[in-house]
Structure 1
Amino acid sequence: MLNSPVFSKTAIEHDSKQSSQTIEIKIECFGAIERLLPANLSLQSKSGMTISDVLDDLIRSYPEAESLLDRCACAIGEDIIPRQTLLESDSIVVLLSPVAGG
């Protein structure tokens, strides 16, 4: 007889609640992006959204900011993060305008 895994109802409910958890993502902008997006901007989303998903949502809502959002750096705290970063809890995402010069 093969052993099959046994899952408790509590564990399954916990996993299901975690994957459908709603989180708040606050957006802080600096540089040229700051002039194109509203102050005190925040999004409500399901846990597991990527930074790239956040930027796509912003582009849909604020198409005039697309060229800057496509090239901006993203940070959480003092750390620059890749666009594939998953957001699994309430977060403040900082958008930094692209910089040119030397």
Structure 2
Amino acid sequence: MKETRRGIYLGDDRRALIAKLQSLVTDLAATDFPHPASIPVIIDKWKVGRREVPCLLGETFGHPNIFDGGSSISSELFYFDPEGGIARTISRWYRLGIPAIPRI
């Protein structure tokens, strides 16, 4: 498979991103999670919050859960190649149509 140099792997280079995602899948797929005492990092006075992450906004067509033409906000965006016309979120690939603000 030919390596592409265009596009942006958001947050990391391609290999580092793949390693992080593979590690996440391995951890979540394990039959047993680690015992809390074996985890060295502690977070105190914690709460669940929200943060902004890159995503795609637009009108979606062919999505399994959104009616054609419906407004959507994608899951977190990990790869974006407007010249190649594709993007990858944590959930799926997207073919990029017309941008909201066309390039001049």
Coarse TM-score class (shorter-chain normalised): under 0.3
The normalised TM-score by structure 2 is 0.27
Q: Which structure has the highest strand share of the two?
A: 1
Q: Which structure has the highest helix share of the two?
A: 1
